[in-house]
Amino acid sequence: MRQPSASMQSILDRLEKEDAGLPHPTDVSAPHGRTLALLNNLRWNENLPEMAEARTVLHAGMPSRLVVPGNDRGRDAILHVHGGGWAFCSPATHEGAARRLAIACRAPVLTIDYRLAPEHPYPGGLEDCLAAWEACQPDRRWSIAGDSAGANLCLALMLRLLAEGRDLPAAALLFYGVYGADFETDSYVEQANGPGLTQAGMRAYWNLYAPPEQRADPLVAPLCASDSDLARLPPLYLNSAELDPLRSDTELLVARLRAVGRNDRHDLCGGVIHGFMQMGNALPEAQDAFERVGEAFREMIP
């Protein structure tokens, strides 16, 4: 049976104490759930890495957060799409992750505040990602990155750009993404009750974002994309968390990519739960994951 690492178990024990009695964000109203998500993530946004610049900007009409690391190489930039089940989180909840990503990749990171479900179900968030991509200035070589539902939106964005014959990102960094809506995969069964994300939690997120009749659309569930579209994607870096109901989503996507002749890097991060990269101020495995991301980024687009 898969077990958390010692450092992951220590954090799980901490969360059990700190969050005792709190509801899951999907069990309350959306505004209340967003407040819970913010509070739950604030602890991971303390003692943030220093930046050469960090400010709030308006990008494609959306309040967005721009962080520029001191080791910026002056060539690349990353459009960052935060996770949160398409319904929760914000640039504020992902500030620490954005800063660590910027340092690892040696490039500015721009995190957008896209519209959230259930008030704005599919395709609201995806349309905002498209608008944000269109607004990226050509003075930099732009890539995209996202975690969980953010990784879903990144992959959907690239499929949308392919369908419209438009320029693609230089590369994409996709962390423990949700790519399909099959709740009976190996990892959904193994990790149905967590720790962390559960099968029931993912069902709730999907119900907020897209009804079952929409889930065969590749822009909703990118595992439904054609082989020809997957073959034409830019270089990808993917990781997955061992103790995550979504682990199989990434494994299935990697298998599809391999079948069409691609060799995109996939790192399985052992002993950690979904969302572990948020915990970069406390979890060694998160710090190591960002180092791997930066290494892969520089290899994909030197």
Structural domains of the chain, ranges and CATH numbers in brackets: 6-300 (3.40.50.1820)
State the angle between helix axes of 6-18 and 284-300 in degrees (0 to 180), rounded to the nearest 10: 120
> How far, rounded to the nearest angstrom, does the alpha carbon of residue 77 sit from its chain's CA centroid?
17
Instruction: Count Cβ atoms below 10 Å from residue 270 Cβ, excluding itself.
Output: 14
C-alpha angle 62-84-216 in degrees, rounded to nearest 5 = 95
Q: How far apart are CA 75 and CA 278, in angstroms?
A: 26
Each residue's pLDDT tens digit, 41-65: 999 999 999 999 999 999 999 999 9
CA R_g for the chain = 18
What is the reported pTM? 0.98
Residue spans of the chain under pLDDT 50: none
Each residue's pLDDT tens digit, 14-35: 999 999 999 999 999 999 999 9
Sorted by sequence, the CB contacts under 8 Å of residue 207 that are 6+ apart come out as none
Q: What is the pLDDT of residue 161?
A: 98
Q: What is the pLDDT of residue 221?
A: 98
Q: What is the pLDDT of residue 1?
A: 77
